[in-house]
Structure 1
Amino acid sequence: MKFVVIGLGSMGKRRIRCLKALGYHYIYGYDIRDDRRHEVERDYSIKTFSDLNELIEATNPDAFIISVPPDIHHEFIRLAIKQNRHFFVEASVLDMGMEEFMKDCSQRSIIAAPSATLLYHPAIGMIKDILDKEELGVLSNIIVHSGQFLPDWHKYEPVSDFYVSNPATGGAREIVPFELGWITHILGFPHRVCGNYRKTIDIPGAEKIEDTYNCLLDYGNFLGVLTVDVVSRYATRRLVINGDKKQLIWDWNYNAIQLFNPIEEKWEERSYKMDSAANGYNANIGENMYIEEIRNFIDAINRKRDFVNNLEKDYRVLQLLYAIEESDKTSQYVRIRS
C-alpha cells in the first residue's frame, strides 16, 4: 500500500513515524517548503516532492494523509474525493464544504477518516466502559479542563509562524472540537449549549486570537462544563464526573483513573499504560494513540473494521463549537439538533 503525507510539519512527520512503525515503506511526502522536505528526507529516508501532481503521477498512491493547516484541509479533501482516493485528515476546526464532502463520499467507496486521536487513549475507553456499566450511578455533572501554554506547542518556532496564531484556526478554538470529540463519544451530544470565549492575556505572536473558551453543555438530566485555554503554564487535561454512587477523576499526568467509593470510603485506582512521547512533545502525548489511529485507518481501507470517526460526526462536533460561539454573541443558549 502506498501513502502520500501531505504537509510535512510536526503532524506530517508524526504520521510518517506511524506508518513506519506499522511496517509500511512506500511513503511519499509533499510540502512546498524546501526546509521541511529536506528535513524529512534526511530523518525518515523517504522521497518528497514540491509538486503534488507530479507526486501523484509518479506514485499512484492508495491514500492521502492530510496534515496541512486546518484552513486548507478542504483543498486536499476535494482532490482525494475527485481522484477516488482514501484519505485521513487531521482534526478540523473549519467547516469548508463538509456537507458537500459527506454527499460525495457517500457516492463513492472511499474511506474518509477525520482524526479522533483521543479515542485511542486507553483512559477514554476505560471511562466509557465505566459509564456504560453505570458504575457511577445517576450522573450529575462533568467538568473538563484542557490547557497548554501556546508557545509550548512548538518550542522550535514562533507562535506567529504557524496556524494557531490565525483567528479562524487559533489554538484554543482548535482544541474545543478536539475535546468535544471524546466528550460526545462517552456522553453523546448535549441538548443545548452556551459559552464565552475571550482573549485574556498577551501571548507574543497570538495577538489576534481568543485564548480561553468556557462551554456549558446541557444534557437535560445532567450538566457539563468544558474549559479550553492556551494559557495554562503546566499542560493540563483533567476530568471530573460526579454520580450519585461514585466520583471519577482522570488527570492525564497520572496513568490512572481514580474512583471514589463512599460506602467503602476509599479511592480505587485503575491504571493503564501509555507509550513514551516523541522528542519535543509533552510526556503525556504518547505515540501509541497516533499509531493506533493510523492502524484503524488502514484496517478500514482493507475492510477489516470501521474507522472510529466519520465526516458526519465531525460535522456535528463542529456545529457545537459554532453554537457555543453564537451563544456568546447572543447571550442565549443554543439548542442542538439531534
Structure 2
Amino acid sequence: MKKILIIGGGSIGKRHLKNLLFLGEKDIMVVEVNPERANTLGKEYDITVVGSIGEAVNKKNFDIVFVCTPSVYHLENALSFVEQGCDLFIEKPLSHSLEGVDRLVAVVKEKKIVTMIGSNWKFYPLFQKMKELLEVGVIGKVLSARCESGQYLPDWHPWEDYRKGYSANKELGGGILLDSHEFDYLTWFIGESVKKLACFSDRRSNLEIDVEDTAAVILQFTGGTIGEIHLDYTQRFPQRNFEFFGETGTILWDATLKKVILRSKESGETNFPLRDNYDLNNMYIEEVKHFLECIDERKETNTPMERGASIIKLIQAAKESSEKNQIIFVS
C-alpha cells in the first residue's frame, strides 16, 4: 500500500483525497494549516490531518506527495520530498516564477522521480476527441487556433471570500496568466513549441485584487501556426472554448454546448456530444489513475515536471511582453 501525503486541504486537495480513497488508497495523510478545515476533513474522511509538513514527516515516511497549495509554495513544498525519492504530483502551475525550477527538475532527473503537473482536462472526453481529430489531420494543416477562458472571479468559489484566495493575490502566485491551463492545452493540441509571443495584460475591473484580471496573448508556433489566448476574471457569464482552423475545415469546442463540432467543405458539420450525465469529477479520477499507473510502471506521465517548467517559461515570457510592450522570442 502506497503511503500518500496531500499538502493542502482546500478544494482541490479535498478532491484528490476523495478520489484517492475511491480508487482504493487507504494510507493517506493531509497537511492543512487551517484548524477548522483540518478538523472537518479528518472527521469527514476518517484520516489523519496534521497542521504542518514537519509534523507529517515526524509520523512516517511517504512514497507519494500531492502538492495542492498556492503556487508560491509549490517548490518549497516539493523539493525536500523529491530529494527523499518521493513521486510527486503538483497542481498547476508548477510555480509562480522560474526561480528554483531548474534545481527541482535536476533533482527529479537524478532521482528518477515520476512527476505530474495537474492537467485534468486532458482526461476530459471532448478534449481527447479534439486531440484525436487533430492528430489524424481531419482539417489538414492547422493554420491558426484560438481559445478563451473567462469567468467572474467571485463566482469561482462563491462559498469563500475571493479577495483571500490565491488567484487574487500577487504574493500567493495569483493572476489570470498563472491560471495556466490554456497555455498547457493549446500547446498540447498543436503539438509544437512556441517560437515567439506578444501579450497585453492589465487589471481592467473593479475587483479588489492586486493582479491582472484580463490578458490577451498571441503566439506563433515553431511550425508557423498562430494562436490566440484570451483569459479573464471578469465575465459574468462563463466562457470556455477552443477553435482550430485548418486548410480543409474547423474544429470547435464550447463548454456551454458540451460537444465538439467538426466542420468541413466535404462532409459538412459533424457533432461529437458529451455523453449524457457525464460527471466532471471523472476526469480528475482518470488523472490520478494515470499518475498512479505511471508510478507502478515507472514511466513518464503525460504532463511531467519538464512540461510544467516549459509552461512557466511561456507565462513568464507573456508577463515580460506585457511589461515591456514587445514581442518575446521563446525558442
TM above 0.5: yes
| Aligned-pair CA distance for 1:69 | 0.7
- The corresponding residue for 1:178 is 181
| Aligned-pair CA distance for 1:138 | 2.6
- The corresponding residue for 1:104 is 107
- The corresponding residue for 1:191 is 195
Distance (Å, rounded) in 2 between the aligned partners of 1:223 and 1:239: 13
SS in 2 for 1:191: strand
Deviations 1:59-81 (A, max 9, x none): 32211111111101111111212
| Aligned-pair CA distance for 1:304 | 6.1
> Is 1:317 paired with 2:316?
no
Distance (Å, rounded) in 1 between the aligned partners of 2:293 and 2:212: 38
Deviations 1:127-180 (A, max 9, x none): 1211111111232221111111101111111112221111252241222x2211
Letter in 2 for 1:213: A
Q: Is the 8 A contact 1:4 1:27 kept in 2?
A: yes
2:286 to 287, 292, 310: 292
Matches within 5 A, 1:69-108: 69-92=70-93, 93-94=95-96, 95-108=98-111
Change in 2 beyond 3 A, CA 1:134/1:145: same
> Is 1:306 paired with 2:300?
yes
Deviations 1:300-328 (A, max 9, x none): 21116531111111111111111112122
Q: How many residues align?
A: 325
TM-score (normalizing by structure 1):
0.91
Distance (Å, rounded) in 1 between the aligned partners of 2:72 and 2:34: 17
Deviations 1:32-58 (A, max 9, x none): 210110110122221111132332232
Q: Is the 8 A contact 1:275 1:288 kept in 2?
A: no
Letter in 2 for 1:23: G
Change in 2 beyond 3 A, CA 1:274/1:327: farther
| Aligned-pair CA distance for 1:228 | 0.6
- The corresponding residue for 2:245 is 242
Letter in 2 for 1:267: E
Q: Is the 8 A contact 1:140 1:222 kept in 2?
A: yes
Letter in 2 for 1:157: E
Distance (Å, rounded) in 1 between the aligned partners of 2:116 and 2:226: 30
Q: Is the 8 A contact 1:274 1:288 kept in 2?
A: no
Matches within 5 A, 1:16-165: 16-92=17-93, 93-94=95-96, 95-165=98-168
| Aligned-pair CA distance for 1:290 | 1.1
Deviations 1:101-150 (A, max 9, x none): 11111111322222222211222221121111111123222111111110
Q: Is the 8 A contact 1:275 1:287 kept in 2?
A: no
| Aligned-pair CA distance for 1:218 | 1.1
Distance (Å, rounded) in 1 between the aligned partners of 2:324 and 2:71: 27
Q: Is the 8 A contact 1:131 1:186 kept in 2?
A: yes
- Unaligned ranges ≥5, structure 1: 278-285
Letter in 1 for 2:27: Y
> Cα RMSD over matched residues?
1.7
TM-score (normalizing by structure 2):
0.93
SS in 1 for 2:229: strand
2:263 to 255, 260, 268: 260
SS in 1 for 2:306: helix
> Is 1:333 paired with 2:324?
no
SS in 2 for 1:227: strand
Q: Is the 8 A contact 2:119 2:181 kept in 1?
A: yes
SS in 2 for 1:107: helix
Q: Is the 8 A contact 1:255 1:274 kept in 2?
A: no
SS in 1 for 2:111: coil
Distance (Å, rounded) in 1 between the aligned partners of 2:146 and 2:52: 46
2:204 to 180, 196, 200: 200
Change in 2 beyond 3 A, CA 1:275/1:57: farther
SS in 2 for 1:23: coil
Change in 2 beyond 3 A, CA 1:274/1:221: farther
2:234 to 206, 231, 234: 231
Which 4+ runs in 1 deviate beyond 3 A? 272-277
Distance (Å, rounded) in 2 between the aligned partners of 1:110 and 1:314: 14
Q: Percent identity?
A: 22
| Aligned-pair CA distance for 1:241 | 1.3
Q: Is the 8 A contact 1:255 1:271 kept in 2?
A: yes
Deviations 1:239-260 (A, max 9, x none): 1111121111100223310011
Deviations 1:84-110 (A, max 9, x none): 211111101413311001111111132
Distance (Å, rounded) in 2 between the aligned partners of 1:81 and 1:329: 34
SS in 2 for 1:20: helix
Distance (Å, rounded) in 2 between the aligned partners of 1:120 and 1:200: 33
Distance (Å, rounded) in 2 between the aligned partners of 1:111 and 1:214: 34
